[in-house]
Amino acid sequence: MAHDAARDSKDEQLDAVRAVDDDQSLTTQQGVRVDHTDDALTVGERGPTLMEDFHFREKITHFDHERIPERVVHARGAGAYGEFKPYDSWLADYTTAGFLTDPGRTTPVFVRFSTVAGSRGSADTVRDVRGFAVKFYTREGNYDLVGNNFPVFFIQDGVKFPDFVHAVKPEPRNEIPQAASAHDTLWDFVSLQPETLHAIMWLMSDRALPRSYRMMQGFGVHTFRLVDSGGRGTFVKFHWKPKLGTHSLIWDEVQKVAGADPDFNRRDLWDAIEAGDYPEWELGVQLVPESDEFAFDFDLLDATKIIPEEQVPVRPVGKLTLNRNPDNFFAETEQIAFHTANVVPGIDFTNDPLLQARNFSYLDTQLIRLGGPNFAQLPVNRPVAEVHNDQRDGYGQHRVHTSETSYNKNSISGDRPRPGGEGAYTHYAEKVEGAKIRRRSESFKDFYSQPALFWNSMTDVEAEHIVAAYRFELGKVTRHDIRVRVVEQLRHIDLDLARRVAAGIGVPAPTETDRPNHGQRSPALSQITDRVRDVATRKIAILAADGVDGAGLARLVEDLRGRGAVPEVVGLTDGTIRAGAGDDVQADRALPTMASVLYDAVAVPCGPDSAEALGRDGRALHFVAEAYKHAKAVAAFGAGLKVLRAARVGTAYAEGTDPVVDQGVVTTTAHGAELPTAFLDSFADQIADHRCWTRRTDDVAA
């Protein structure tokens, strides 16, 4: 009772202090107010600094210890809070996990997106797999779905994880290259480890260059297990599908974005949430009865394999919405701790050897990153479920435990906390037996069929990008024998792929293969075959200078905003742009600080003086030509057509007010408030296509 009285007294004192300290006065860590923080305490104005200056010592000491070890992988990240809500209760037939089955329940989440290979200071748009990790704060405890934007991983067994990461990281002799896979050690590893080839095919595809985290799929990678109320299991693979569709940048673009805005993806996520354009994904599942475990020509426990959606459809479960940015990047996005073994009743593991290793590795990693075993008490990691256990002390212990016991069983504290009871986690009962061996199952050893499936499923454009990616990456490899070995591996996937890659990297093209391509396809693997068409949140640059058609520009801006797009007026300089007709226009951005690669489309309004000024400006012409080269939608009306001609963009222009659409270029001679609705519709339609992939731009100097 004395302890309770003392605690109540302290709480009252804290309330009293907070009541009067509403001016946010600067204090030390001990709550002592500080009168001056620009100069340390010294003997006279030019004398030595005194160590009795406790504020100086505390401030410097804390600064010296501000950094914590960055993640070995997934160091570069961005995150946000949100919520998940199931559509209905159909999944209750397969799992007791209430957050997946109760449509009346909304579960808070934190999602962290990341690149894998680079350090915290690397650029967002490097060629890399992206992390897609979701922490569900469920009533039954925290559940972490720690996934990627690829459905497969590079290795089959976790014992090889250090080898793969060491190979893809900067080379140890010179710490080069940063956040890149185009170097000898990675491709040496790949050439000797054919299990990597499927994930490498994804890495060479446009999937490794997402336009936005908001336009990126996510996958749980592993085969997990759902468990119903009767203890029966069902194999499951998790999928996240973005509402806006799955879209990518292109290679020339990402390299320039890395210089123009290295924070491109994290800024995009932050800005969308701040603007109320909340990103959304649909959670879906592929379910496989345990009786069908061996019904496939691959092993369900192999993390380098997918279940084609044509064989097992993805069934929708619910919607994820991100609606709040973190208040502090370090405290939340950096300190959040994910762990594949954070599961709740109704979800369990399989014997996937990579998953088993992750179940050890993630917890082990947090101990050094976050300073000890109490990292789950950090606000971003703290569950909404009540926590009661006998774990005590350690670095970062925030709880003041008042129980007289810290062991189980006990009679002193009423035998609390006690195990069991309603809602307790029960592991899936699976019979396991066998000799202790170091040997992988023969069912894991088909390394080529699924990379061939992915290759066969690409459109011509996507295939061209994959070949170009292999050529770029292997072109950076200095050892000729490594290039030869990689092409030899590609020969087993597809002979034409191997020949096309070999032709660009100076190695002999293979003439035959002992493993013909099986010819199977999965249209769901292509980003172009069945894409989502939407202009919402797309960023449109509208180039303008003094003399611009203010009325026409205003109509274009209003129309794009009405469709959910984000138009920005880019002037030759900051400030007000004088309009030749209509109201003057305020520039949102200045051309010297922006680049076409930061936008999804470009428009040039009417205005003879504006068009003349833009046509004389090399930066403006490059801006338009580069957008055209990157297959983006381009539009112009009235005198703005002169800028397109000067930039050598397009070949067919409107000769009247009726809009002309030619290879993603939309034009009309109309201007002012009479800008035709058909022109606006056509421009929006081209933006929704994401890119005009039929456009040939080899002759465009951008």
* Residues near 291 by beta carbon (within 8 Å), at least 6 away in sequence: none
* Side chain identity, residue 566: V
Q: Is residue 153 part of a domain?
A: yes
The verdict on 477 and 551 lying in the same domain is no
Q: Is residue 171 part of a domain?
A: yes
The active-site residue out of 148, 265, 374, 456 is 148
* Cα distance between residue 618 and residue 407, in whole Å: 75
The verdict on 521 and 590 lying in the same domain is no
Question: How many beta carbons lie within 10 A of that of residue 35, not counting itself?
Answer: 7
Domain termination site, one of 354, 377, 400: 377
Residue 410 pLDDT exceeds 80: yes
Q: Is residue 425 part of a domain?
A: no
Q: Assign 3-class secondary structure to 645-671.
A: HHCCCCCCCCCCCCCEEECCEEEECCC
Average pLDDT value over all residues in the chain:
94
Domain of residue 601 covers 539-688
The verdict on 326 and 187 lying in the same domain is yes
Q: Which of 403-417, 430-444, 570-584 has the highest mean pLDDT?
A: 570-584
The verdict on 496 and 635 lying in the same domain is no
Q: Is residue 192 part of a domain?
A: yes
The verdict on 477 and 565 lying in the same domain is no
For 29, what's the count of Cα atoms within 13 Å in the CB-facing half-sphere? Answer: 10
Contact (Cβ atoms closer than 8 angstroms) between residue 580 and residue 574? no
**DSSP labels for 574-626?**
SSEE-EEESS-EE-SEEGGG--GGG-SEEEE---HHHHHHHHH-HHHHHHHHH
Residue 73 pLDDT exceeds 90: yes
Question: How many beta carbons lie within 10 A of that of residue 479, not counting itself?
Answer: 12
The verdict on 572 and 509 lying in the same domain is no
Q: Is residue 278 part of a domain?
A: yes
Contact (Cβ atoms closer than 8 angstroms) between residue 628 and residue 647? yes
Domain termination site, one of 499, 525, 551: 525
Residue 374 pLDDT exceeds 50: yes
Contact (Cβ atoms closer than 8 angstroms) between residue 143 and residue 136? yes
The verdict on 550 and 591 lying in the same domain is yes
The verdict on 350 and 266 lying in the same domain is yes
Domain termination site, one of 330, 353, 377: 377
Domain CATH code at residue 517: 1.20.1370.20
Residue 44 pLDDT exceeds 80: yes
Q: Please confirm, yes or no, whether 3 is among the known catalytic residues.
A: no
Task: Provide long-range contacts, Cβ within 8 A and 24+ apart, for 586-590.
Answer: 587/544, 589/541
Question: For the chain, what is the domain count?
Answer: 3
* Cα distance between residue 156 and residue 168, in whole Å: 16
Backbone conformation region of residue 423, classed left if phi is above 0, alpha if psi is from -120 to 50, else beta: left
The verdict on 601 and 506 lying in the same domain is no
For residue 699, what pLDDT band results from cuts at 50, 70 and 90? very low
Q: Is residue 323 part of a domain?
A: yes
pLDDT digit string, tens, across residues 637-670: 999 999 999 999 988 999 999 999 999 999 999 9
Q: Is residue 15 part of a domain?
A: no
Query: Among residues of the chain, what percentage have pLDDT more than 90?
Result: 87
Residue 494 pLDDT exceeds 50: yes
Q: Is residue 511 part of a domain?
A: yes
* Cα distance between residue 152 and residue 146, in whole Å: 13
* Residues near 459 by beta carbon (within 8 Å), at least 6 away in sequence: 526, 528, 529, 693
* Cα distance between residue 531 and residue 461, in whole Å: 14
Across the strands, what pairs with 112?
Answer: 79, 133
Q: Please confirm, yes or no, whether 408 is among the known catalytic residues.
A: no
Which helix (H) or strand (E) covers residue 115, if one does? strand 107-115
Residue 234 pLDDT exceeds 80: yes
The verdict on 500 and 546 lying in the same domain is no
* Cα distance between residue 541 and residue 634, in whole Å: 10
The verdict on 204 and 287 lying in the same domain is yes
Domain CATH code at residue 638: 3.40.50.880
pLDDT of residue 696: 65
Find the range with the poorest average confidence among 10-14, 271-275, 451-455, 507-511. 10-14
The verdict on 301 and 351 lying in the same domain is yes
**Exposure string for 525-562, b = 16+ CB within 10 A, e = fewer:** bbbbeeeeebbebbbbbbbbbbbbbbbbbbbbbebbee
